Amino acid sequence: MYVTLVNIHVKSEHLAEFIDATRANHEGSVREPGNLRFDVLQSVEDPTRFILYEAYRDEAAAKAHKETAHYAAWRDAATDWMAEPRVGVRYDGLFPAAPEARR
């Protein structure tokens, strides 16, 4: 799996807008053919902090995500709502194995 954890800090005055736009991005992302997971996590201690857990079958699927209309709409809207630039950290997903690897 090709996994990215994206850390995001949102300006508090844009919290509701960010959540709505991120929900739309999530809904589009989970329908992408190479997507395995797309979780949106909000900090309990600081509701302006989020982590997006994005798991794709491979690097090509992750790159295809960046070319979708729903991602572009989210990126263009959400960038100005962030208190600081988002930071994505790449991981190799080991377990659970991707569905086709379990066969």
Using 50, 70 and 90 to split pLDDT, how confident is the model at 102? very low
Location of structure tokens 């994505």: 88
pLDDT (0 to 100) of residue 4:
97
Q: What is the dihedral of CA 15, 19, 92, 28, to 10 degrees?
A: -150
**Does residue 84 fall inside a structural domain?**
yes
C-alpha distance from residue 13 to each of 16, 48, 64 (Å): 8, 9, 31
- Residue environment code for 3-19, b if the CB has 16+ CB neighbours within 10 A, otherwise e: bebeebebeeebeeebe
Residue 101 lies in a domain: no
Q: What is the pLDDT of residue 28?
A: 98
Can you read off the two tokens belonging to residue 22?
């991120």
pLDDT digits (tens, 9 = 90+) for 34-87: 999 999 999 999 999 999 999 999 999 999 999 999 999 999 999 999 999 999
Report, in this order, helix, strand and coil percent for the chain, each rounded to 5: 40, 30, 30
**Residue 100 within a domain:** no
Average pLDDT over residues 76-100: 90
- Give the domain extent around 41: 2-92
99 has pLDDT over 70: no
Q: What pLDDT, in 10s, does the model give residues 16-27?
A: 999 999 999 999
Model pTM above 0.85: yes
59 Cβ partners below 8 Å, 6+ apart?
2
In 3D, which of 4, 15, 70, 10 has the Cα closest to residue 37? 4
Query: What's the pLDDT score for residue 103?
Result: 47
**Residue 54 belongs to some domain of the structure:** yes
Give the CATH number of the domain where residue 18 resides: 3.30.70.100
**Domains identified in the chain, total number:** 1
